[in-house]
Chain A
Amino acid sequence: MKRKTSKRIKEGIIETVLFLSALSSILITIGIVVVLSYESFGFFKEVSLKEFLTERQWTPLFAEPKFGILPLVSGTLLTTAIALIVALPLGLTVTVYLSEYAPHRLREVIKPILELLAAVPTVVYGYFALLFLTPILQKFIPDLSGFNALSPGIIMGIMIIPYVSSVSEDAMKAVPMHIREGSYAMGATKLQTAFKVVIPSAFSGIAAAFIIGISRAVGETMVVAIAAGMLPTFTVNPLKPVQTLTGYIVQVSLGDVPHGTIEYKTIFAAGMTLFLITLVFNIIGFWLRKRIREAY
């Protein structure tokens, strides 16, 4: 009898410990929200929300500081858009090829290699953008500055292809075989089946994949910090240097900014903006992915 009770207590303790570990993931989210809001709150005590959202200059480290987030947001969106222009056609083609065309054995070889592309440290991709791609591009576009939005954008696009193609391939695999067979029976080619039958059926999954890819490009740091420059410019010109939200945080963190100053708080305001943008994309992606699970 006694042994049974002590056994039950032991089981109870273990379950509590395991439960607390699972709960820790929620604490991380709470921690992120609390830390970001607390420091941003301090920032918005000194800078009005109106200036933050409408001012077109971001010069917090100057003698006469201006705190407009727009140049950083435009830099982030510009590099992300370039990444998407590269990743969308290329990623979709790779996915359709791997899921509908490629022989089984070739797919088994190529998929792990694509996954390795995702494992390359981003600082190495940054090196590649600055010292390999930019000089090559400069031969074709003489106006291109040494730091620019184009080169890191292209590299980021290639970087997110593995993420995009692996998630969207899962979505295309989830489309039942008999739907494809119906299409083939009508005399459609693989290409027609892929684009007129499989992709529309797997649309929400593929869209989710690209949205997760966008979210990754928005949050990507080292490639843009190395190759895009450190100059916040409110521009859509991909040939000029820009600064992204992440690039700014890196720039300030590298310097010696004392705790509690307004410069210190700016990185949290930028971080909060970044967190909110990616959160919106992640929620849309999550919702779209949930929809495919319900579809079949």
Chain B
Amino acid sequence: MGFINQTLNTKHQTLKKRIAITKFWDRIFLVAGLLSTLVGLVLLFALMADLFVNGFPRLSYKFFTSFPSRFPDQAGILSAWVGSFLVLLVTAFAAIPLGVAAGIYLEEYSRKNWLTDIIEINIANLAGVPSIVYGLLALGLFVYFFKFGESTLTGGLALALLILPMVIMATREAIRAIPNSIREASYALGATKWQTVQSHIIPYSTGGILTGVIIGLSRAIGETAPIITVGALTFIAFLPTSPFSSEFPFISFKWLMDPFTVMPIQMFNWVSRPQHEFQLNAAAAGIVLMVMTLLMNGIAIYIRYRFRMKIKW
């Protein structure tokens, strides 16, 4: 009897030990998980701090209003931010109507057939194509085939192709969230498909679409590779033609065809120089770029939040 009790006791002991060990590892992993997650956050913080410390002293009114220069302390980002703004304008004008229209078609109109399947697989695949390949497409197609040259127009269109899948996917997700009862109510009143889309689907999905579009544009503003590939210049000491003139017809689109540079290219150019002073300029340009991207993402998150609060199905 005592012998059996003893074995039971040792078994009990080993079991207890094993439980303690598994619990110990569980706790170790909890710490490891927290630490790994923090690595990302700490990294983001370190990156910001490093950029800030190096670049902040360079940020001045003059930095925003000067052209690049051979002398680091006189160089600025005027042509770069103007270029970024104009390129983004072209991108938005091309990608938003096309992407939203495609999204509406795929959610509201398309029938389930092989063509729709191909379009869907294709969009998923396009989202995985490296951005520099879009640059090569734009180089072959826009620069040399359509002869747009190495212009703002080419750069904007290249980025539009790049963010098109993002805009389409955001549109589809936003539309999918609208309950069917809304559509049925509209049809019950005798509305046609387009009337339903126009008066119900588009207004209700605006928040989601806007969020996706802004996130897409914030990605476009930081994209460097495709813009380098289409031949943007790294040193531009003039501004594109003004879109407004004092003579008839007052508005000119000549800026579309002007050579250009953008913020990330200006930063890249400064990073690649060996002189320390230029690298400080790069940090300053990096701060501006980060602030622009984070601001756009912040706006997107805010819009999503606002629309979620407003619409209750």
Answer whether A and B are interacting partners: yes
Which A residues are closer than 8 A to B by beta carbons?
A: 7, 10-11, 14-15, 17-19, 21-26, 28-29, 31-32, 35-36, 38-39, 90, 93-94, 96-98, 101-102, 110, 112-117, 119-124, 126-128, 130-132, 158, 161-162, 187, 189-192, 212, 215-216, 218-222, 225-226, 246, 249-250, 253-254, 259, 267-268, 271, 274-275, 278-279, 281-283, 285-286
| B130:A222 contact, CB within 8 angstroms | no
| B218:A254 contact, CB within 8 angstroms | no
| A189:B26 contact, CB within 8 angstroms | yes
| A113:B229 contact, CB within 8 angstroms | no
From A10, A18, A35, give the contact of B136 (CB < 8 A). A35
Q: Which 8 pairs of residues, A with B, have the shortest CB-CB distance?
A: A219-B130, A97-B33, A121-B222, A35-B140, A21-B101, A18-B105, A221-B225, A189-B26
Chain B's nearest CB lies how many Å from the CB of A153? 15
Compute the total of residue contacts between A and B using a CB distance below 8 Å: 259
CA distance A144 to B169 in the complex (A): 43
Stretch touching chain A among B71-79, B160-168, B176-184: B160-168
Main secondary structure, interface of A, reads helix
Chain B's nearest CB lies how many Å from the CB of A293? 13
| B294:A116 contact, CB within 8 angstroms | yes
Interface core residue of B41, B124, B229 (most chain A CB under 10 Å):
B229
Which B residues are closer than 8 A to A by beta carbons?
A: 19, 22-23, 25-26, 29-30, 32-34, 36-37, 39-41, 43-44, 46-47, 50-51, 97-99, 101-102, 104-106, 109-110, 118-119, 121-126, 128-137, 139-141, 144, 161, 164-165, 168, 192-194, 215, 218-219, 221-225, 228-231, 234, 264, 267-268, 271-272, 279, 282-283, 286, 289-290, 293-294, 297, 301
Supply 16 further A-B pairs (C-beta < 8 A) apart from A94-B37, A94-B40: A32-B136, A35-B137, A36-B137, A97-B30, A117-B43, A126-B268, A127-B267, A158-B39, A192-B22, A219-B133, A222-B264, A225-B225, A226-B272, A249-B132, A250-B229, A268-B140
From A113, A215, A219, A253, give the contact of B228 (CB < 8 A). A253
| A31:B137 contact, CB within 8 angstroms | yes
| A123:B26 contact, CB within 8 angstroms | no
Chain A's nearest CB lies how many Å from the CB of B123? 5
| B40:A162 contact, CB within 8 angstroms | yes
CA distance A246 to B134 in the complex (A): 12
Interface core residue of A26, A121, A190, A279 (most chain B CB under 10 Å):
A121
Interface core residue of A25, A32, A114, A187 (most chain B CB under 10 Å):
A25
From B105, B125, B141, B279, give the contact of A29 (CB < 8 A). B125
| B119:A23 contact, CB within 8 angstroms | yes
Interface core residue of B105, B219, B223 (most chain A CB under 10 Å):
B105
